[in-house]
Chains A and B, each alone.
Chain A
């Protein structure tokens, strides 16, 4: 029985639920190449009418903040309440803000 990981590269899947909307991360899939990645994503995530667009990105290409860096990356923002647009009222009928 084969036990080593031979499932290919990991890819991150983003779906656009309606034209014009932002792509949202929904999960990941395995694949060996671009075609296989987009097909596997289609078969795994969009078979129940979830989307009108698909983006695939190799997980290894994603740049992220490490746990060690998180403190000085994010915490300074918490202390400055005046940076948050919480003092405005969102007009009624505005969606997708």
Chain B
């Protein structure tokens, strides 16, 4: 696959799949305002995915649209990390998954503003405002729950310990990352990781949470198309309509 295209997919697929997970939670949040806030985040992420798929479709030519890339690609061509496809086990898992991803998005898009790819730098400038707000919200939930009741603390620590093993895949360099960085079109993932680490440590301290010990036992594969059992189910649901009725229109 074209490496530049794969880089676009890495960005768009993370946004789309996390957005889908959040949309599954629509109407199930603990209270109405949180429900609206979560779906707002999902909508922002759809916006990032939509713009990026649209541009990827243009690069590919062949008369494809962004929708074709979201709805007609097989599982092994999705490049999202394993973290974003993890299920909505409980509210704590949703908060931790969101926090780890938001912290990545803020660090990543901040670096991506320097890209020589005009689409990517424009996307970064636009998205940074959105993801900064997402990170503010998810960080506050981390602190509120971590430094909250004993039960809340245990739940958020459990979710953090359990999802931690997926957290470093963002920084694992794929061929696309290496190519784009070399050409000045992508970001330096090492810088992104430094900023991310700093944010995670800061919030762990504020939330009185134990920072998970090390990078050992990290699991990855999503970025190269090898996914956990969950992505297939997500795509089966998400892609059902376009596969069953290929010519369906709004």
Residues of B within 8 A of A44 (CB): 33, 36
Q: Of A7, A32, A33, A43, which contacts B36 at CB under 8 A?
A: A43
A39 at the interface (CB under 8 A from B): yes
Among A6, A8, A30, A36, chain B packs the most CB atoms within 10 A around the CB of A36
13 sample A-B contacts, Cβ–Cβ < 8 Å, listed by A number: A7-B30, A29-B33, A30-B31, A32-B144, A36-B140, A36-B144, A39-B137, A39-B140, A40-B34, A40-B36, A40-B37, A43-B37, A44-B33
> How many residue pairs at the A-B interface have CB separations less than 8 Å?
32
Interface residues of A in 23-67 (CB under 8 A from B): 29-33, 35-36, 39-40, 43-44, 47
Q: Measuring CB to CB, which residues of chain A are less than 8 angstroms from any residue of chain B?
A: 6-8, 29-33, 35-36, 39-40, 43-44, 47
Q: Which residues of B contact A43 (CB under 8 A)?
A: 33, 36-37, 40
Number of interface residues of B (CB under 8 A): 12
CB-nearest residue of chain B relative to A43?
Answer: B37
CA distance A84 to B40 in the complex (A): 46
Tell me whether B3 is interfacial, beta carbon within 8 Å: no
* Extra 11 A-B pairs, beta carbons < 8 Å, given A7-B33, A43-B37, A44-B36: A7-B30, A7-B31, A8-B31, A30-B32, A31-B33, A33-B144, A39-B37, A40-B34, A43-B40, A44-B33, A47-B40
Residues of A within 8 A of B30 (CB): 6-7
How far is A39 from B33 in the complex, measured between Cα atoms in Å? 9
Which residues from B are CB-within-8-Å of A7?
30-33
A28 to B121, CA, bound (A): 38
- List B contacts of A32 (CB < 8 A): 144
**Interface pair A40/B140, CB less than 8 Å apart:** no
For A31, give the chain B residue with the smallest CB separation: B33
Kindly list chain A residues whose C-beta atoms are within 8 Å of the C-beta of B137: 39
Q: Complex formed: what's the CA distance from A63 to B207 in Å?
A: 36
Name which residue of chain B comes closest to A35, CB basis. B140
A6 to B31, CA, bound (A): 8
- List the B side residues contacting A36 at CB < 8 Å: 140, 144
**CB of A40 to closest CB in B, whole Å:** 4
Rounded to whole Å, the gap between the CB of A58 and the closest CB of chain B is 15
**Distance of A51 Cα from B30 Cα, bound (Å):** 27
Top 9 nearest A-B pairs (CB, nearest first) are A40-B33, A43-B37, A7-B31, A43-B40, A43-B36, A29-B33, A44-B36, A35-B140, A30-B33
